[in-house]
Amino acid sequence: MGDSVDVVVIGAGNAAFSAALSAREKGASVLMLERAPKEEANGNSRFTAGSMRFAYEGIDDLRALMPELTDEEIASTDFGSYPAGRYRHDMNRLNEHRSDADLVEILVTRSKSTLLWMREKGLRFVPAYASQSIRKNGKVKFWGGSTVEVSGGGTGLVDAWTRAAERESIPILYGARAESLLHSNAGVHGVRARVNGRTTEIKASCLVLAAGGFEANAKWRARHLGAGWQLAKVRGTRYNTGDGIRMGLEAGAVPYGRWSGCHAVGWDRNAPQYGDLVVGNRFQKHSYPFGITINALGERFVDEGSEFRNYTYANYGRAVLNQPGRFAWQIFDGKTLHLLRDEYRINRVTKVAAASLMELVTKLEGVDAERALQTIYQYNAAVQIGVPFDPSTEDGRATTGLIVSKSNWSTTIDTPPFEAYAVTCGITFTYGGLRINTAAEVLDRDLEPIRGLYAAGELVGGLFHFNYPGGSGLTAGAVFGRIAGASAARAAGR
């Protein structure tokens, strides 16, 4: 091609679009390279529910982001608040204070302004009623700190980003796999890519890596996450194989974060190996706090109610992967079936139902039925039925005397009809990656910026180590993508 541009963005997901539009806003010429063909483009972003966690003080902040909210909605809904201090606390608590403090501070303090900027770019936000709220005493109450999502979910997110890029005349080359960075002692100055079957070099003043983690690379999963992880299902795109991370390391970047950690959830046992864009994220099964989960031995192995679902679901897949046969069954009874999320009602679901517990356990494929029945009876006897059940708060309705306790939302499994759903591990993204500073510059092994190289999104290490507050991933991608694009544009101008 022999092309030359101010900023090349490698990737076409949420973080990549944020970077590209931010760079264009600062006056830079921008080119985006997307490895996937157009029909499979946009990385993991298209597979998400579009939830975005941000710090807000109350209804005024929400109304600034969602001016379409009606007075009636506001009167009938308890949106609560999620101040910066709580967001910061959740990040530190869930990651055992190992997250990069500077990056956490940027994520928290710029989360609101970044979502407002996204709205200026044409994205629309709506309350996350379906996934983050519960009706109590005639009023809808939000819980867990994650209140909004992009209208249209992941598909709405990337479609809106794509329209914004088209308005700004930012070209996107699909089927364009970046293979290596052009770099020297003076820094990075371009990329070698395979575009429509031909290898070409594209010169650029700066590059932004935003090509996702390595969750779709079975070899890397086994090497970094450990034995057995090569057998996990991949929730999203098959194209996130770590190319951006590899190219950054080859250019001298320092690896950072917990490379043995990842975001992984309970995923339908018979889902395909990679994400299905028709089903999207609905293979997930996240209503486990309202039932119990047993393994092939017929035993419980996890505290299903340790805290709100959006603080535990990212670790739940790892717990399932560690069980015999790498699967488990979630069991519910008639008292809580109405609380199950919409994803339990899709056609492609691995489900059994029965009118009695005796019948149910015999239908649990691969499970010791006799032991499963004993486990259910023992659990039922341990539930503190004198404590009121309240799904809108951590109700303290716990079990007593069990080896594996359940801390909240314990309800006896004794009322038909009974339903059970088979799950395995679905990996979303990996936590290890490249190290950046607060300007989104990629750092070398001496912790000095690599001139001309920036990064954002899932290939950045240091934010998440052990867990993940739901909705933080898309927000982090947008926050640091915006910073990376602006930094790259300024550097290109110089």
User: In the chain, pLDDT over 90 holds for what percent of residues?
Assistant: 97
Closest to 32 in 3D by CA, of 195, 230, 182:
195
- State whether 389 and 464 are in the same domain: no
- State whether 420 and 449 are in the same domain: no
- State whether 33 and 158 are in the same domain: yes
Closest to 313 in 3D by CA, of 355, 343, 278:
343
- State whether 289 and 338 are in the same domain: yes
Cα-based distances in Å from 63 to 79, 125, 476: 11, 10, 22
Q: Enumerate the β-bridge partners of residue 8.
A: 31, 207
Amino acid 224: pLDDT: 98
Amino acid 196: pLDDT: 86
- State whether 159 and 196 are in the same domain: yes
Amino acid 218: pLDDT: 98
- State whether 284 and 382 are in the same domain: yes
The 10 Å Cβ neighbour count of residue 201 is 14
Closest to 18 in 3D by CA, of 454, 431, 427:
454
**What letter would DSSP give residue 221?**
I
Q: Is 76 a domain residue?
A: yes
2 pLDDT more than 60: no
- Taking only the tens place, the pLDDT of each residue in 133-185 is 999 888 999 999 999 999 999 999 999 999 999 999 999 999 999 999 999 99
User: In the chain, pLDDT over 70 holds for what percent of residues?
Assistant: 99
Amino acid 400: pLDDT: 97
In a 3-state reduction of DSSP, which class is residue 262?
strand
Closest to 36 in 3D by CA, of 46, 26, 48, 27:
46
What is the Cα 285 distance to its own chain's centre?
14
- State whether 376 and 442 are in the same domain: no
Give the containing element (helix H, strand E) for 113: helix 111-120
237 touches 47 (CB < 8 A): yes
Q: Output the CA angle 44-50-54, nearest 5 degrees.
A: 115
| Last residue of one domain, picked from the residues 397, 426, 455 | 426
408 pLDDT more than 60: yes
Amino acid 425: pLDDT: 98
- State whether 271 and 374 are in the same domain: yes
Q: Enumerate the β-bridge partners of residue 5.
A: 204
- Taking only the tens place, the pLDDT of each residue in 374-397 is 999 999 999 999 999 999 999 999
Amino acid 137: pLDDT: 87
331 pLDDT more than 90: yes
Range of the domain at 297: 264-426
Total number of domains constituting the chain: 2
- State whether 353 and 372 are in the same domain: yes
In a 3-state reduction of DSSP, which class is residue 263?
strand
pTM over 0.85: yes
DSSP line for 233-253:
EESS-TT-SSHHHHHHHHTTB
Residue 417, preceding peptide bond in cis (omega within 30° of 0): yes
Q: Is 318 a domain residue?
A: yes
CATH code for the domain in which residue 344 is found = 3.90.700.10
Mark 413-448 as b/e (b = at least 16 C-beta within 10 Å).
beeeebbbbbbbbbbbbbbbbbbbbebbbbbbeeee
332 touches 411 (CB < 8 A): no
